[in-house]
Amino acid sequence: MTTDGMNTGDMNTGGMNTGAILRVERLRVGFDHPLGVVQAVDDVSFTLLANERLGLAGESGSGKSTMALAILRMIKPPGRIQGGAVYLDRTELSSLDQEAIRRVRLAGIALVPQGSMNSLNPVMRIRAQIADALADHRVVLSKAELATRVADLLRRVGLRAEVADLYPHELSGGMKQRACIAIAICLSPQVIIADEPTSALDVVVQRQVMETLARVQRDLGAAVILVGHDMGLMAQFVDRLGVMYAGRLVEIAPIGEIITRPRHPYTQMLISSLPSLEARGTMHGIPGLAPLLRDLPPGCAFHPRCPRADARCRTEKPAVRDLAPGQQVACHHA
């Protein structure tokens, strides 16, 4: 989906503070497999600034969602975090015990999950699900206070107060997704991770959901990590974009720079594959398929599909290097 016609003034304010609210340092996530450990996230580092919108894009299986879950320490066996550290402000999340990290979830970092129907409890009304989230973090409210709090949360995501008395199956797809956003913001988190929040929604509803996310982010003064593969959506929502391939962050840069001057060949081919009004009827795909994480090629994982690959690319994994402030790339030829 692309968001042609979206009001970019509502979506991308571009106002960022300079302080880092979240730091990911050399994060590694592996999954045990009979043929060996599958490296789903491979030595990934980045920072998220206060009030910033950071996108993480890439093909399916590139490690985007796994990294989002790893930040929240929600990786389940056979997966495990093998190394690295995640800092929320000055708190190292990787050092917290289970009770402490549970308190950070929702209050410090909230997740808007992919597939709202799977994340909402089908036998509980929306009011009860919001109340559960508050009670789990020891927020004690009277019945009247809870009703006011729930109505305010629903209003902030563009839903009527009456929605609180409905079950998830009585809501449309877009309403369910906005209910998930209401739960995510109920404790005013510093960081919101939105994992493909518009998947399986039609174009009009996708726009409504993204405008809702942009509005609540501004209201809270929170930072957002948007996980997805829709480059058109990323271009209109995020301040910076990170591109993942085979578990690695191969490029990260301000969105304007990455759209107009992509440095990594994979990013260049992603951008060139976008539909264009100037070249209607001409489609440019990326040849080949993304490699299996359990059977990565030696050297640069992208080299079998890369038109610029040489002997060095086939034997030596490229290190991530700085090109400019806020811009990094992992390519021998960038």
- Give DSSP secondary structure letters for 90-140: TEEGGGS-HHHHHHHHHHTEEEE-S-HHHHS-TTS-HHHHHHHHHHHTT--
Token output for 25: 């340092």
Q: To 10 degrees, the CA torsion angle through 133, 137, 138, 139?
A: -60
Tell me which DSSP letter residue 53 carries.
E
- Locate the domains of the chain by residue range: 20-97+223-334
> Pairing relation of β-strands 240-245 and 53-57?
parallel
Task: Average pLDDT across each block of 10 residues of the chain; the chain has 334 residues. List them in order.
Answer: 40 57 97 91 96 94 94 96 96 94 96 85 96 94 96 96 96 94 97 91 89 95 94 91 97 95 93 70 77 92 95 96 90 92
C-alpha–C-alpha distance, residues 30 and 197, integer Å: 25
Token output for 167: 């079950």
Out of 3.10.105.10, 3.20.20.80, 1.10.287.310, 3.40.50.300, the CATH code matching 20-97+223-334 is: 3.40.50.300
pLDDT for residue 83: 96
CB–CB of 230/2 below 8 Å? yes
| pTM exceeds cut of 0.85 | yes
CB–CB of 72/193 below 8 Å? yes
pLDDT for residue 324: 85
pLDDT for residue 5: 37
Token output for 226: 């948007």
pLDDT for residue 140: 92
